[in-house]
Amino acid sequence: KGQQKHHANQAPIPTKNLRASPYYLPKTSEQAPITYQKTSEQAMQKIASMTKILKAKLEQHPKLVSAIAKRGGVQFLENSTHISSSQDKFWDGNGKESRFIQALSSAYTATIEKEQGKTFPENTDPVAQSLKQWVLDATFLNRNYVEAINKIQQIYTDTKKPLTENHLKTMGKDSRNTTITKEVKNLVTRLTNTLVQDTREDVYKSIQGKKYILESNENTGLVRITNASNTDILLSIENNQVKANNLNHDVYQSLKSAVQAVDEKIKSAQEATGYNNSNYAIKVDQNQVTK
């Protein structure tokens, strides 16, 4: 557990299978659809149960949540490997291929979202709840297949047909991308609010660093990251919806390092002055953004 490996930026998610055949089942024999349905349902139930167990553990041990967040959150989990000592290899695998890592990532995401006030009514059907969340995630990411998901959701409500492997994989990718993108969004907002000393929410704020330019406006839901020459857009969120996303590991790590550096400077200044107000303003070098 926790073994690190190189993380490559994910390519755009293909959508042709979502539109072409929402519920394609292999037809190698008459029993194939039945076998597929049972296997899919059993796998989803096992993953859903494990997710609930892990979520409960994370809620009981907030230090674990903090530890995961400090190491990179969902991205850290996706770079990990799960190997069990039992003969049942259902949960084993590297990163996103491991069902245990999938469950842990979902549990971590749900725990973080609960802390942020993102909750849903209790639903005894984990598939229906997952589909509901998928619509929200795909809308935030500005995917061009939101309508296809709505149709899948309606078909499931009417027939309870299982989701395909393509649906499950795409749903998982959208969930992870949403979590990572929102983590980056929060990091940018935190830096601009700290380094640009203006408490008005409707104010456009910008930071010019050695490697990146950060922009935000909480009132309009704007968050933008570009390279220092302002020629390449790495992330653009407008009205709380993603318009462009070309994030990479360097951007993510740079932002986390910048936040950590700023927090340390604020803490040192507060300890030196004995003034512990969280709004205490200190001068911080904006180039820390590209540490």
State residue 206's pLDDT score: 92
Query: Does residue 7 form part of some domain?
Result: no
Residue 22 predicted with pLDDT over 50: no
State residue 224's pLDDT score: 96
Q: Do 25 and 39 share a structural domain?
A: yes
Query: How confident is the model over 225-233, as a mean pLDDT?
Result: 94
Whole-model pTM over 0.95: no
What's the total number of domains in the chain?
A: 2
pLDDT in tens, 92-134: 777 767 788 888 888 888 888 777 665 555 445 778 888 988 9
Q: Do 231 and 130 share a structural domain?
A: no
Q: Which residue has the higher pLDDT, 38 or 149?
A: 149
Q: How far is residue 194's CA from residue 191's CA, in Å, rounded to a whole number?
A: 5
User: By C-alpha distance, which of 134, 122, 203 is closest to 175?
Assistant: 134
**Average pLDDT over the chain, rounded to an integer:** 76
Query: Does residue 219 form part of some domain?
Result: yes
Q: Do 202 and 139 share a structural domain?
A: no
pLDDT in tens, 51-67: 888 888 888 888 888 88
Q: Do 205 and 90 share a structural domain?
A: no
Q: What are phi and psi of 217, to 5 degrees?
A: -150, 105
Q: Do 223 and 163 share a structural domain?
A: no
User: The domain containing residue 249 runs over which residues?
Assistant: 188-290
Q: Do 163 and 227 share a structural domain?
A: no
Query: Does residue 36 form part of some domain?
Result: yes
Q: Strand, helix or coil at 284?
A: coil
pLDDT in tens, 147-202: 999 999 999 999 988 888 889 889 888 988 888 898 899 899 889 988 887 766 67
Query: Does residue 9 form part of some domain?
Result: no
Q: Do 89 and 29 share a structural domain?
A: yes
Q: Do 280 and 147 share a structural domain?
A: no
Count of alpha carbons within 13 angstroms of residue 179, beta-carbon side: 25
Q: What are phi and psi of 13, to 5 degrees?
A: -80, 125
Q: Do 165 and 225 share a structural domain?
A: no
Q: Do 268 and 170 share a structural domain?
A: no
